[in-house]
Structure formats: structure tokens, C-alpha cells
Amino acid sequence: MATLQDVQAKLAAIEQKKAQTLKDLQAKRAKLKAVIAQLQRPTKSQRRMDARRKILLGAFILEQLERTGSSPQNLTFEGQRFLDWLVRPTDRAVFDALPAGDSVPDVPSPAPGVATAVTVLNVPFAAKDQAKALGAQWQPDKKRWVVPAGLDLAPFQPWLEQTA
């Protein structure tokens, strides 16, 4: 018959084997998790395509901002300003170099119709409320009224600046 010491020795061996097996299983589990993470990661071509989509979308948005006379500095979405979203100083420097609101040259539309660019108006002070109600915008830094691109110029006909 087995003695108390023999049984305790067998129990200690079982506990030691159990601890080693648990350690091996945890290492195997960690390796499998790493493999799963690698398999779920987008491929190089998917990452390139995603980056290309972001670049094209950004270029489109920037062009639309320029066409409407806006600037990235004034862009907000759901209460967050674009410049606050940029965290790296080098990224901020790219947009700080742009003059706010001067991204579009002031070229009046060639003929009445739809404004294709920011169109400067000659609005007397007495008519400012009427121009504003029609959609004209005041540029305080340049002290002038403009029609944003995309608006019909017909209602603004009395205030269109004459070009020589």
C-alpha cells in the first residue's frame, strides 16, 4: 500500500504538470490570437486603395470649399472644427499657410445666370438687408458683399459691379 508521502509526491507531480500544461496552452492561445489579428488586417492593396479614396475625397472637398469661397480653417462637422482635428503640428502648418477665405480669386461671372465663382456686389448700405435676404454674404475682412458660387445672379442684377 502507498504511504502518505507517496500520495503527496504524486499530487505535487500532477500540480506541476498541470501548471506547465496551462502555461503551454496560454502561449499557444497567444500565438493563435496573433495569427487571427494578422489574417483580419487589410492587405497591402486594400490599405493603398483606402488611402487613395481618402486622398481623392479630400481633394474633392477642398475643391468644393475653394469654389464656394470657403477655407479649411472654417470647416466644421458635428461641432468639431477641422483645425482642432489636426493633432500634428506639421499638418496644422500646411493649413495655417493658407490665407483664410482667400482661396478663390474674385472673378465675376461672365454673364448673369448662375454664379460660377464668388461674385462681388456693389450693395449700398440701405440695401444690405435685401441683399442678405437674397443670399448675398458679407466679407468683413474685405468690407464687401458677394454672391457665393452656385446662386442665381438675376436677383442681384442691380448690384453687380460693372467690369470695364
pLDDT digits (tens, 9 = 90+) for 109-135: 444 577 778 889 999 999 999 999 989
CA distances from 70 to 17, 43, 75, 103, 132 (A): 71, 37, 8, 7, 17
Mean pLDDT of 130-149: 90
Q: Which H/E stretch holds residue 138?
A: strand 137-139
Q: Is the pLDDT of residue 5 over 90?
A: yes
**Contact status, residue 140 vs residue 117, Cβ threshold 8 Å:** no
Q: Is the pLDDT of residue 94 over 90?
A: no
Sign of the four-CA dihedral 58, 60, 66, 69:
negative
Mean pLDDT of 66-88: 77
Pair type for strands 80-81 and 119-121: unpaired
Q: Which residues contact 114 (CB under 8 A, 6 or more apart)?
A: 150, 151, 152, 153
Measure the CA angle with vertex 140, ends 123 and 160; round to 5°: 25
Beta bridge partners of 76: 81
CA distances from 82 to 61, 66, 78, 79 (A): 12, 15, 10, 10
Measure the CA angle with vertex 17, ends 15 and 19; round to 5°: 70
Task: Place 162 in a pLDDT band, splitting at 50, 70 and 90.
Answer: low
Exposure on the CB side of residue 128, measured as CA atoms within 13 A = 9
The model's pTM is: 0.37
Residue-level pLDDT at 129:
92
Mean pLDDT of 11-40: 94
